[in-house]
Amino acid sequence: MSTQIIIENSILFLLLWAIIFFRYLLIAGAFHMYFYGIKKEINKARRISTKLRKTHQTKKEIIASFLSSGLFAIGGVFLLQIWRMDYSLVYSDISDYGIVYLFFSALLFLFLHDTYYYWLHRWMHRPSIYKHIHRQHHDSIATSVWTSFSFDVPESVLQAIFLPIMIFILPMHYSVVLFLLMFMTFSATINHLDIEIYPKNFNKHPIGKWFIGATHHSLHHSEFITNYGLYFTFWDHWMKTESKVYDQRFEEVSR
């Protein structure tokens, strides 16, 4: 590898690191300002966790998220290089697969990602694995928007590799890839908000019941052995790992 390529990739890595971390700060900060600032009084009754945040917990989460963003940036450099060399299945002309496939590919990716993470998540909760890979994230028993990217280094790697692998397997338009990256950030922020933003009975709606929100994921942080899903509740339903108090707790905090 030439010196010029090394320099270019290094600059690209630093740029992506800054973009990913800034995106995290921007989205998490906006949610925090709105739900814990502007709407603070209204949302007091919608707070899910009964635990208090640890001292300096937010600072620890932001530092961990900064490091995670760097690892995600490495995956981004790999993804861009593979795309540039035309080795991936990422395409630029929607007519190659059609508009229907455009939406289908996004939904299929989300389902496959959810499947991957559900089983990875259960594996990370094995006692011999947990202390080496997943402890950092669960240090936040009472979650916040800042928890969304707070991972141990090994877990960040395991999360970062999925998209670069999928570009070799699933054809996706580049706009779908960009959408998925934003969706991941918003989903992680909402799920760690510790305030239920979905309306009452959303958990019983024919469609809504399949989506994970703040209540669902907050119970995972407090119970540890339930609610392993990432975006959807499918696998928790199928594998009987959904919290038995989820519906009750959702009813209590939703409005």
Q: pLDDT tens-digit profile of 36-94?
A: 998 888 788 888 988 878 889 999 999 999 999 999 999 999 999 999 899 999 999 99
- Residue 32 pLDDT grade (very low, low, confident, very high; cuts 50, 70, 90): very high
DSSP lists the bridge partners of residue 195 as 47
Sign of CA dihedral 40, 41, 46, 49: positive
Assessment of whether the complete model's pTM goes beyond 0.85: yes
pLDDT of res. 46 = 85
Cβ contact 47:197 at 8 Å = no
pLDDT of res. 1 = 61
Across the range 14-25, mean pLDDT stands at 97
In whole angstroms, give the CA distance from residue 215 to residue 195. 7
Query: Residue 165: phi, psi to the nearest 5?
Result: -70, -40
pLDDT of res. 214 = 97
Cβ contact 151:166 at 8 Å = no
Cβ contact 222:51 at 8 Å = yes
- Residue 144 pLDDT grade (very low, low, confident, very high; cuts 50, 70, 90): very high
pLDDT of res. 77 = 95
Cβ contact 142:53 at 8 Å = yes
- Domains of the chain, by residue range, sit at 3-253
User: DSSP letters along 105-145, please?
Assistant: HHHHHHHHHHHHHHHHHHHHTSHHHHHHHTHHHHT-SS--G
Closest CA to 253 of 197, 186, 193, 191: 197
Maximum CA extent, the chain:
60
DSSP lists the bridge partners of residue 13 as none
Cα 191 from chain centroid (whole Å): 8
Q: The tokens 């709105």 sit on which residue?
A: 34
| The pair of three-digit structure tokens given for residue 147, joined into one six-digit string | 């928890």
161-191 residues labelled b (16+ CB within 10 A) or e (exposed): ebbbebbeeeebbeebbeebeebbbebbbbb
pLDDT of res. 11 = 94
What confidence tens digit (pLDDT) does each residue in 167-219 have?
999 999 999 999 999 999 999 999 999 999 999 999 999 999 999 999 999 99
Across the range 96-108, mean pLDDT stands at 98
Task: Say if strands 90-91 and 172-173 run parallel, antiparallel, or are unpaired.
Answer: parallel
pLDDT > 90: percent of the chain: 89
pLDDT of res. 52 = 79
Cβ contact 13:73 at 8 Å = yes
56 CB neighbour count, 10 Å cutoff: 9
Query: Residue 233: phi, psi to the nearest 5?
Result: -95, 5
Radius of gyration, alpha carbons of the chain: 19
End-to-end CA distance of the chain: 57
pLDDT of res. 44 = 80
